[in-house]
A and B are shown apart, each in its own frame.
Chain A
Amino acid sequence: MDFLNDPINFIANWMRGLLTGWGLADGLATVIIYIVGIVVLILFAMTLDIFLVWVERKVVARFQDRLGPNRIGPFGIIQPFADIIKLIIKEDITPLGADKLLYNIGPVLAIASVIILWAILPLSSRIFGVDLNVGVLYLVAAGALGTLSIIIGGWASNNKYALLGAFRMVANMVSYEIPMVVVLLVPSILANSMSVQGITQAQSGIWFALLSPLAMLIFLVSAIAELGRSPFDLNEAESEIVAGFHIEYTGMKFGLFYAGELLHAFTFGGFLAVLFFGGYGGFFGLEKIGFFSWLNNPFVQMVVFLAKAMLGYWVIMWIKYSMPRIRIDHMLEFNWKFLTPLALVVLVNTAILSKLLENLPAWGYNLGMFFSNILIAIITIGILRRYGRKQRQLQAKLHPASLANKEQAV
C-alpha cells in the first residue's frame, strides 16, 4: 500500500502507528483519526468554497459582458479574502424582537446542511468520507435540514420580508423534493444500488445521462429549485422582498448563508456528475486498457470528479444568470402538473424496461433505455404543444383579459 494508490488509508495507518506508538489505546486512536479526517474534509470543502466565490463572480461577469473582480492579485483571485475580511469586520446586528438563539442557529445550520453532504461525496474510488448503502436518500435528508435552516432564519429575524421568504422556500422545497426523490430512484434502479460508490462504478461502461436523459434533466431542474437559485429564487427575490430570508443578517452571518449557497450549488454539480455523468470514473471502459490504467489513480479520479462537478456548477450558474425569475403560481404549477407526472412516468418506464431488457446484451439495453426516454420526451412535447395552442386560442377569443381568466375558471 503506497501513498499514491491509497492516500487516505496510508495516512490513517501512519497516524495509527504514531498514536499507538505514543501509548494511546487503539479505539481512542481510531476516534482521533476519524476526527482528523472529518476536519480535513471540511477544511477542503471550505477552502474550495472561498474560491467558488471568485469563480461565481468571474463567471457571472462573463455572462453579463463585464470583467468581474480584477484588482487584487492576478485575475482578482485574492478578492474573496478581501471579501472575507470585510464580512468579518462588519457590525453584527441582531434585530429588535428577534429570537436570539434561533437567529444565530440559522446560518450555522445553513452551511452545516451542505457540509454533511460532503460526507458521502465520492471524490475518488479511494478518497471519500463514507459509503452509505442509502447514500441517495441521505442526499434528500440533508436537503430537509437546509430547508429547516432557512425557515429558522426567516422566522427568527422578526421581519415580514424574511418570513415571506421563508414561506416561499417551504412551498418551493416541499414541492420540488417530490420529483427529486422520484428521479433519484432512476439511477438507483439502473445501478441496482443506492450507494453513491455503487452508482459511480455502475457507470464505468456508459453514463446514466445517456441511458436516461430525461431523469438527468428533471434532477437538474429540481436541484436548482432546491438550491433556491434563479429561476426559482423566490425566497430571496430582490425586486419583491428585498433579500428574503437573510434580509436582517449582517457580516459573517450573511456570509455563511452566501457561502452555503455557493458550496451547495457546487455540491449539487458534484452529485449531478456522480448520479448521471460517471462521477470520478465513467471513461466508457477506457481505464481497463493497459495504456490508460493511470486513470484509476485516486488523484487523477479526484481531478476528473472536481472538473465534472465544476462543469455541473457552471451549468447551474449559466441557467441562473440567463433566466428571469418565475412567478410562484407558475412555479407550483410547473412542478405539480408537469415535473412530478413526468418524473413518475420516467421512473415507471425505467423500472419496467430494466426488467424487460435484462437479458439483452448491453447495447440493446442501452439503446432501449435511451429511445424509450426520447419517445417520452416527444410525447411530452406533443402534449405541451396541444395544451399551449388551446391556451392561446382561449386568450385570442376573449378580450379583455379578465374575461379570459373567468372563462378559464369555468
Chain B
Amino acid sequence: MTADKVVFILCAFLIVSSALMVVTTRKLIHAALWLVAALFGVAILFVLLQAAFLAVVQVVVYIGAIAILFIFAVMLTRREMLDKGTQTRSSWWLPALIGALILGGLVLMIASQPDFARTATTIPAGVDTLRNLGTALVSPNEYVLPFEVASILMLAALIGAVYVASSDKK
C-alpha cells in the first residue's frame, strides 16, 4: 500500500465520520464544526489529486465564508440549540433503504466505467495547472460562457441581497 492510499483512507474516514457527526450530534454548533472538518477533508482530497488551487479555494470559500456564516447564524440564536427529542422517526428504515439503494447504484455505475481502475497521472513538472485553469475559464473555445453566466447569476444574487437588506423599502 502506497503512502497516497494510506492518506486517502484516513482522509475518507475523516470525511465520512465527520459527515455522520453532522447529522447525529445534538448540538447545532457542533454540527457546524463537524461540517468544517468534513469540508477540510475534501480539501485534503483535492491536495491528493494535485489540485492545489481547488484545495485552497475549498478552504477559503467553504470554511472561510460559508461555514463561518453558519456558525455565526447559530451563535446568534438565543438558546444553546440543544436537540432533546429522539432523533429518528418510526419509518427511518425507508429513507435508509432508498439511500443505500442510491449509493449502491452509484457505486455500480462508477465501477462499470472503463476508467474506474485508472490511477491518477502525475502532472509533468513544467505544466502550470493554475495558468491552464485560468486560460480555460476565459478562452472562447472552452468555458467562457458558463463562467460569465455564473458571474451574472452571482451579480443578480448580490443585487437581490442588497435590495432585500435595504431598509427604505416602501
Contacts and interface: CB of A to CB of B under 8 A. Distances in A.
B75 A133 contact: no
A167 B72 CA distance: 7
A53 interface: no
B31 interface: no
Interface string B1-43: 0010000000000000000000000010110010010000000
A134 B75 contact: no
Given A134-B56, A137-B57, A166 B75 contact: yes
A141 B75 contact: no
A134 B43 CA distance: 14
Best-buried of B59, B63, B64, B71 by chain A (most CB within 10 Å): B64
B52 interface: yes
A186 B129 CA distance: 20
Contacts of A134: 52-53, 56, 130
Given A31-B3, A174-B68, A102 B53 contact: no
A177 B69 CA distance: 14
Contacts of A369: none
A133 B128 contact: yes
B60 interface: yes
Interface residues of A, number: 27
B160 to A, nearest CB: 18
Nearest to A133: B130
Contacts of B64: 140-141, 143-144, 147, 177
B65 interface: yes
A102 B33 contact: yes
Contact of A174 (B30, B36, B65, B75): B65
A151 B52 contact: no
B65 to A, nearest CB: 7
Contact of B53 (A137, A152, A167, A177): A137
Interface range on chain B (Cβ under 8 Å from partner): 20 to 34
B52 A133 contact: yes
B33 to A, nearest CB: 7
Given A167-B75, A170-B68, A174-B68, A144 B60 contact: yes
Interface in A118-164: 132-134, 137-138, 140-141, 143-145, 147-148, 151-152, 155, 163
A182 to B, nearest CB: 13
Contact of B75 (A27, A31, A163, A194): A163
A151 B65 CA distance: 13
A155 B91 CA distance: 36
Interface in B92-126: none
Interface string A365-390: 00000000000000000000000000
A132 B129 CA distance: 12
Contact of A144 (B63, B128, B130): B63
Contact of B36 (A148, A167, A177): A148
Interface in B115-152: 128-130
Contacts of A144: 59-60, 63-65, 68
Interface string A165-181: 01100100110010000
Interface of A: 27, 31, 99, 102, 132-134, 137-138, 140-141, 143-145, 147-148, 151-152, 155, 163, 166-167, 170, 173-174, 177, 194
The 10 closest A-B pairs by CB, nearest first: A144-B64, A141-B59, A137-B56, A141-B60, A134-B56, A134-B53, A141-B56, A134-B52, A170-B72, A133-B130
24 contacts: A31-B3, A102-B29, A102-B30, A133-B52, A133-B53, A133-B130, A137-B57, A138-B56, A140-B64, A141-B63, A141-B64, A144-B59, A144-B63, A144-B65, A145-B63, A148-B63, A148-B71, A151-B71, A152-B33, A166-B75, A167-B72, A170-B68, A170-B72, A174-B68
Given A145-B63, A152-B33, A170-B68, 9 more contacts: A99-B27, A102-B30, A133-B52, A133-B128, A133-B129, A143-B64, A148-B36, A173-B68, A174-B68
